[in-house]
Each structure stands twice: as structure tokens, then as C-alpha cells.
Amino acid sequence: MSHRFPTLAVLLTAVIMAVLLAPAPVTGQQAPNWTPARTPWGDPDLQGVYTFATPTPLQRPTGLAGKAAYTETELVELATRSEAARSERESRAPDPERPSGGYDAVWTAPERGRLTGRTSLIIDPEDGRMPALTANGLKVRAGIEAERATRLIGDETIYNIWSDHPTYTRCLSRPMPRIGQAYNHGLQILQTPGQVVIHYESMHDVRIIPLDNRPHLPANIRQLNGDARGRWEGNTLVVNWTNFTDKQMFDGAGDGENGFPQGNMRYTERFTKVDANTIEYMVTVEDPAIWTRPWTVVLPWKSDDPNYQNPEDLYEFACHEGNYRMMEDSLTGSRALKQSQSGK
């Protein structure tokens, strides 16, 4: 097994140097004096192992309204503070009076990854925020929140049956696109003539994207990971993505428990190699029944992270289908909470 966690000094140096030497590129613009490699059959070569970890938030914080990007000085200050926060949290002695949660800070610290230089991953709308919901979107959200309220005892969520859990915690699938994710940010891209393959570390999901102009699947065939069709526009791989099922939820979060059913959502992805170590990943989200307009995210995929250099650096995501121990414990705990509540 490869070692994933270098010393804090190395991490701090890497973060600051990455910020100074690799500012966020202009969207879709390749680095000067750099020419993307080609596959033996002539397509732009996107192959490699990447990570999309970043502490940059999906939406711009309200306190940064009107500020799309940080200055270099601000980025260094942010990187230094982030590393100090990580160091403090990981060195903190366990507190027996305070539950640690499912995973510790080594896995889920918000400082993991690199700052993009922008104040949000959303670049459109220009305010860096999700667009307003439609009347139907508000109605759908209210219904979801009302249903969840029926399964709360205090701050605890009650699971009455196995299907109360999303597909992610049941170890079946994780919502796509992969944007907001607490850990396992690795992936590998492979290419063959006429296909691009993306293997994600989390859930070991594999997308096979045809490039041969074949039509999408019929509208009545829905899949957890949708149905993707790609084409090259210059050096950019453009992917149209449809045919999702309503069994998963999406609003930019990565756990499948938040957001809206995906069934009517459409995504347009753009993959552009902008320098030797970076793919600019851009995805536009569209569902006119939920949002009043489309919205677009830009997220760098980096191949020079010391934790992701080779295919073997992708961890085995040992989450077995059904996740039966979690299922058993959550149902047992829920019954105990309900009995405790009824006995009051």
C-alpha cells in the first residue's frame, strides 16, 4: 500500500507552492508554450491519475459577494491558515465527551486538496451562487423537507426501513457528477480509439463514454450513472449526459442525501488539458423544472498530487453492496430511539 500522508512541513510547502505556481487558469485556456500530447490515434491525451480535492466551496460565501478570485497574497494567507487548522485538528487529543463521528480529520478535513484561486467552484451565474428555484423546485424541496421532518427525533434521523437510506450509504452508487466529496477524490482516465473511460476511486464507478456519434439510450431507460455521449471540439472533450434515475439526488453535494431527484437533469461536461498536470473540468447543470436557469462549475483535476501518482494509489473502496452492518445498526438504533421516545 502506498503512503498517503506526507509530513505537515511537506504538505505546507506543497500547498503554498501550488498556489503560487499554479493559479487558476482562465477558463479553457491552455498554458503558454505548452502543447497537449496526442494518443497514437490522434486524440488529445487526457490519460492519467488525478484528484479533484479542493477546499474551495461550491458556492461563494455571502461575505465575499462581488469577489470572484483571490489575490496571490490572499491565497498564500489562506493556504497557511488551512494548514495550521489541519495541524491543530489532527494533533488534538481525543475527547471522550465528544463523539468523533464516522471519520476523523485525516479523511474529512476541509483543508484537503488545493485552493483553485476562485472564491467558488460555481462560475455561472457570476455571483458564484446557485440560481433561484422555480415554483416547482420550491414545492419539491418543501416536500422533501416535510418527509425528512417526520423521521427526526431531536437531531437524530430515524430509518424505518432499508430504503430510507440513499444509494450512497447502501454502497450502491454515488451521485454524479463528482463535485462535493469529503474523501476518496481520486480517479483514472483511460482512452481507446472511440472511447474515453473514467474510473472513480469512490464506489469504483466506471464510466465508458463512446465517441462514435451513437444516439442516447431511449428516454425510458434510466441508469444510476446516466448515459453519456462524447465528442471532441478541438482539444476539449465535450460530453452530453442524460437518462438519470430519480433514485439519486443531486445539488452539488456528494452524498446522495441532499438536493433534488436527478431524473430530468442534463449535464454538459467539458474536459480540457490546460497544462501538463491539470485538466480543467467544467460541467453545466440544467433542469428547468428545478432551477430558473442552468449553472456551471469549474473544478481542476490535478495529476501532480503526491498521494495520486499511479493507478495503485487509488484506494480499494471496500464498501460492500447493501452495507449490511450499517443497515443493521441504523435500524436497530432507530427502533431504540423510537421506543425511548414513546416511553416518555
Q: For residues 299 and 285, what is the distance between their CA atoms, to the nearest angstrom? A: 14
Closest residue by Cα to residue 102 from 332, 337, 325? 325
Per-residue pLDDT of the chain (344 residues; tens, 9 = 90+): 444 444 444 444 444 444 433 444 446 677 888 888 999 999 999 999 999 999 899 999 999 999 999 999 999 998 888 778 777 777 777 776 665 556 665 666 555 678 889 999 999 999 999 999 999 999 999 999 999 899 999 888 999 999 899 888 899 888 999 998 878 899 999 999 999 999 999 998 999 999 999 999 999 999 999 999 999 999 999 999 999 999 999 998 777 788 999 999 999 999 999 999 999 999 999 999 999 999 999 999 999 998 898 999 998 888 887 888 888 999 999 999 999 887 76
Q: For residues 54 and 70, what is the distance between their CA atoms, to the nearest angstrom? A: 15
State residue 192's pLDDT score. Answer: 97
State residue 284's pLDDT score. Answer: 98
State residue 257's pLDDT score. Answer: 80
Query: CB atoms < 10 A from the CB of 23, how many?
Result: 17
Domain boundaries, the chain: 8-342
- The β-bridge partners of 271 are 237, 281
Compute φ and ψ for 178, nearest 5 degrees.
Answer: -85, 110
Compute φ and ψ for 144, nearest 5 degrees.
Answer: -65, -45
**In three state form, how does the secondary structure of the chain look?**
CCCCCCCHHHHHHHHHHHHHHCCCCCCCCCCCCCCCCECCCCCECCCEEEECCCCCCCCCCHHHCCCCECCHHHHHHHHHHHHHHHHHHHHCCCCCCCCCCCCCHHHHCCCCCCCCCECCCEEECCCCCCCCECHHHHHHHHHHHHHHHCCEECCEECCCCHHHCCCCCCCCCCCCCCCCCCCCCEEEEEEECCEEEEEECHHHCEEEEECCCCCCCCCCCCECCCEEEEEEECCEEEEEEECECCCCEECCCCCCCCCEECCCCEEEEEEEEEECCEEEEEEEEECCCCECCCEEEEEEEECCCCCCCCHHHCCCCCCCCCCHHHHHHHHHHHHHHHHHHHCC
State residue 18's pLDDT score. Answer: 46
State residue 1's pLDDT score. Answer: 40
Q: For residues 314 and 321, what is the distance between their CA atoms, to the nearest angstrom? A: 19
State residue 20's pLDDT score. Answer: 38
Query: CB atoms < 10 A from the CB of 304, how many?
Result: 17
Residues ≥6 apart with Cβ < 8 Å to 270:
28, 236, 237, 238, 239, 280, 281, 282, 283
State residue 111's pLDDT score. Answer: 56
- The β-bridge partners of 206 are 199
